[in-house]
Amino acid sequence: MRSAWLKKRLELEKMMGVDVLFKKPGPEAELRELEEEVRACRRCRLYQERKQTVFARGDPRAALMFIGEAPGREEDLQGLAFVGPAGKLLDKMIFAMGLKRDEVYIINIIKCRPPNNREPRADEVEACFPYLERQIDLVRPQVICTLGRPAANALLGTSRSMGDLRGKWHSYRGVPLLPTYHSAYLLRSPGQKKKAWEDLKKVIAALTDGPPPLPGLF
Ligand code: URA
């Protein structure tokens, strides 16, 4: 009698995308649906040359979300964000923060690789933006750390320089957002790693001590 009840309950939970008994439903099922939608996307020209779409990497329940620019060659091949050389350095940065790579959630502002890794065009960022917004809404991170100028400007709706943006707290719909250098840039300019580490320490402090004072709130 009891096992029949349990079986029914498990079937029901499986149907609803909840995989553990009594666990609160997380964002996984809706993210999977969104990922399927992205897989079929033809909203901009980039679908023509992609091998596959790149949705994310990591834990969708993470407190910290990194947002990069666009998939590169390796990401396009593997279908996962930040798995190439820039990803390897990002993994080291995450480790230095006292976290594991699977304890954060990593996405990009656009989901398809631009030809020859060129910077995403404004219309491509705009076409992909609803996916990005939805991912952030579903994951609801405590802190967002953007990597590089295009990611910060896309989320803040600005066109500011990296020097102007980095290391300062901003807000994306109430979520504290800290822009830092992209790990691909740090591979080319290792002398800037010290500044990036100063930024990452602010992120660690926000995660451990609570949200920073955001502009406009005080
Ligand atoms: N650079 C990015 O911005 N994103 C990736 O996923 C890989 C490299």
pLDDT exceeds 60 at position 94: yes
Residue of 182, 183, 187 best suited for mutating to test ligand 1, as the one with most atoms within 8 Å of CB = 182
pLDDT exceeds 90 at position 66: yes
Band (pLDDT 50/70/90 cuts) for residue 136 is very high
Give the DSSP per-residue string, 113-179: PPGGGPPPPHHHHHHHHHHHHHHHHHH--SEEEEESHHHHHHHHT----HHHHTTS-EEETTEEEEE
145 within ligand 1 shell (Cβ under 6 A): no
142-194 pLDDT per residue, tens: 999 999 999 999 999 999 999 999 999 999 999 999 999 999 999 999 999 99
pLDDT exceeds 80 at position 99: yes
Backbone angles phi, psi at 65, to 5 degrees: -115, 130
- Domains of the chain from N-terminus onward: 26-209 (3.40.470.10)
DSSP 40: T
Nearest CA to ligand 1 atom 7: 82
Confidence (pLDDT) at 26: 87
How many angstroms does the Cα of residue 6 sit away from the middle of ligand 1? 44
Q: Can you tell me the mean pLDDT for 125-145?
A: 98
Q: What is the pTM of this model?
A: 0.88
Q: Which atom of ligand 1 is nearest to the CA of 183?
A: 1
pLDDT exceeds 50 at position 1: no
Compute the distance between CA of residue 31 and CA of residue 34 in angstroms, rounded to an integer: 5
70 within ligand 1 shell (Cβ under 6 A): yes
86 within ligand 1 shell (Cβ under 6 A): yes
Q: Can you tell me the mean pLDDT for 119-145?
A: 98
CB 184 within 8 A of CB 195: no
Confidence (pLDDT) at 91: 98
Q: Can you tell me the mean pLDDT for 55-59?
A: 98
Q: Which atom of ligand 1 is nearest to the CA of 69?
A: 3
Compute the distance between CA of residue 182 and CA of residue 69 in angstroms, rounded to an integer: 8
Q: Can you tell me the mean pLDDT for 112-136?
A: 98
Look at 217 and 121; give whichever has higher pLDDT. Answer: 121
CB 71 within 8 A of CB 112: yes
Confidence (pLDDT) at 13: 61
Compute the distance between CA of residue 150 and CA of residue 160 in angstroms, rounded to an integer: 9
Q: Report helix angle 85-96 to 193-209, nearest 10.
A: 50
Confidence (pLDDT) at 25: 72
72 within ligand 1 shell (Cβ under 6 A): yes
Distance of CA 90 to the CA centre of its chain: 12
Confidence (pLDDT) at 18: 53
SS3 21: coil
pLDDT exceeds 60 at position 10: no
pLDDT exceeds 50 at position 62: yes
User: How many of the other CB atoms lie within 10 Å of CB of 182?
Assistant: 23
Compute the distance between CA of residue 134 and CA of residue 137 in angstroms, rounded to an integer: 5
Q: What angle do CA 40, 46, 49 make, to 5 degrees?
A: 90
151 within ligand 1 shell (Cβ under 6 A): no
Q: Can you tell me the mean pLDDT for 69-75?
A: 98
Token code pair at residue 114: 């631009």
82 within ligand 1 shell (Cβ under 6 A): yes
